[in-house]
Structure 1
Amino acid sequence: MIRVAIDGPSGAGKSTVAKRIAKDLSIIYVDTGAMYRCIGLYALRQGLDTKDSQQVSSCLEQIHLETSYDVQNGQRIFLNGEDVSEAIRTPDASMAASNVSAIPQVRAFLLDLQRDMAKKQSLVMDGRDIGTVVIPDAELKIFLTASPESRARRRYLEYVQKGQQPVYDDILRDVILRDHQDSTRAAAPLCQAPDAVKLDTTEINFEDTVSIIKEMILKKAAELSLSI
């Protein structure tokens, strides 16, 4: 069993890369960011202030999350039985996720679930504090990053491909703001674990990024005599 923790700032491509690696290696993928996005989305739909810890904490007992994977639709996440895989990928949901992730009660709500997943099987888990808080004993930790401009450009293209009409400058501003919020929050701030391998993908394309990380995983598994 090998557990891979991929951390990094918003828009670094963690989820996309982790999904592909998990598929190629036939191991479980856990998208922790999607979990926070679900809570942020639920709070928004309830008209709550996503920065208000009391308001958000009071609604946690009403939230039930489930994930599934199938060949046709890929990784899906359900909020109280509703497939919100697309709904959680909007700019508003992204900012709400950043806000609620700074609330200790929210992090505690999800931490046990995430750690339990990491006890049972080989997996790739991505987020902001996987290697520092969730599974600090992961066999391999990677800090995936890129310049704010590069991350904003990639996100801009994602929105365009979905038929939206984004404004690049707005996305760049949100990326920079999200970086600040995630790295300065009191609860488990975004930071690189001391034993994590930093991979800057500003000048590296998706396929090469996947290949580099897969090579890291296979090398680490061989070093530790672990099965995948």
Structure 2
Amino acid sequence: MSIAFLLTTLVVVATPGTGVIYTLAAGLSHGRRAGVVAAFGCTLGIVPHMLATITGIAAVLHTSAVAFQTLKYLGVLYLVYMAWATLRDKDALVVEDERAPRSAARTIVSGVLINILNPKLTMFFFAFLPQFVDAGEPGSVASMLELSGVFMLLTFVVFAAYGVLAASVRSHVTSRPRVLTWMRRIFAGSFVSLGAKLAFASR
């Protein structure tokens, strides 16, 4: 495993995107545990893309415009839904009673869907992983699995850090109604912006 792979991976996972926005929102809305759970959900959402790359399914998305566009617009619709849900839920950013935390399953499912419905992630794996694996070696598949595992581990650690950081300031943010309103708008706007970016993305 090279330093170049680790550095590139850190830059990729730390760059704000749909997963980071979702994790920050979860941490601010429901606390540290929800932020970490959201990070776990987003990390699980990487698995299908990883498997698609290793088994060659990514090549189908790469060559089939219909398959790519279908998955892309499903992702756009889900991001628009997330924006609408964020604006609609007036209680989305409140300090909740710790005895009644948000369902972990619901948080994980949302995180998984956010990443599954992002064909650019499959394209990234398709273009990124082979650069660090010698296709001619007998253990190339094992090497790709190892690198994918490291990518997922770093994703979870970085996203969890975002979630915990957001949770650490939630009491200062959620006690101010005006700030809450703007936070909802910012998160909703971020989801719409990311959805628009995905909508105009090409393979």
Q: Normalized against structure 1, the TM-score is what?
A: 0.28
The structure with the largest helix share of the pair is 2
Q: Greater relative contact order (Cα 8 A, min sep 6): structure 1 or 2?
A: 2
